[in-house]
């Protein structure tokens, strides 16, 4: 059983479309991170959120941490082929660090 469930698992969209990836759990996290990973490479940290309800923006990417600190979302506006990759959320309970199930995004030119 995965502590952090991501949806959707796979997503294929046309360039210019918007999308949202969800990361859900029944556990409370002291912080939550989002990573992007390209094939054959390690994950690269995109953002860390720590406060319930927090919203962070990174260019066309918007990250939100749920009020109860149990879930998070990643919204991409006007997706580009360069956004293609595996998106991973990861939560820190203070004692443990858990990765989400992952969302594989393909943006078609």
Partner 1 sequence: GAVVSQHPSWVICKSGTSVKIECRSLDFQATTMFWYRQFPKQSLMLMATSNEGSKATYEQGVEKDKFLINHASLTLSTLTVTSAHPEDSSFYICSAIRAASGMLDTQYFGPGTRLTVL
Q: Contact residues for partner 1 (CB under 8 A)?
A: 2, 6, 10, 30-31, 33, 35, 40-44, 48, 86, 88, 90, 92, 94-97, 99-102, 104
Q: Could you tell me the smallest distance in angstroms from the CB atom of residue 41 to partner 1? A: 5
Helix (H, G, I), strand (E, B) or coil at 104: strand
Cβ closest to partner 1, residue 79 vs residue 88: 88
Q: Could you tell me the smallest distance in angstroms from the CB atom of residue 18 to partner 1? A: 22
CB 50 within 8 A of CB 64: no
Q: What are phi and psi of 81, to 5 degrees?
A: -55, -30
DSSP characters over 56-85: EEETTEEEEE-TTSSEEEEEESS--GGG-E
Cβ closest to partner 1, residue 12 vs residue 77: 12
Q: Could you tell me the smallest distance in angstroms from the CB atom of residue 6 to partner 1? A: 8
């Amino acid at each position: 059983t995965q502590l952090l469930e991501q949806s959707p698992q796979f997503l294929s969209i046309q360039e210019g479309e918007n999308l949202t990836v969800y990361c859900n759990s029944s556990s409370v996290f002291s912080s939550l991170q989002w990573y992007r990973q390209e094939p054959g490479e390690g994950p690269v940290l995109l953002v860390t959120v720590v406060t319930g309800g927090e919203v962070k923006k990174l260019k066309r990417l918007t990250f939100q941490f749920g009020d109860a600190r149990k879930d998070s979302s990643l919204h991409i506006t006007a997706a580009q082929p360069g956004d293609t990759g595996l998106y991973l959320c990861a939560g820190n309970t203070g004692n443990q660090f858990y990765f989400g199930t992952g969302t594989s995004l393909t943006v078609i030119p």
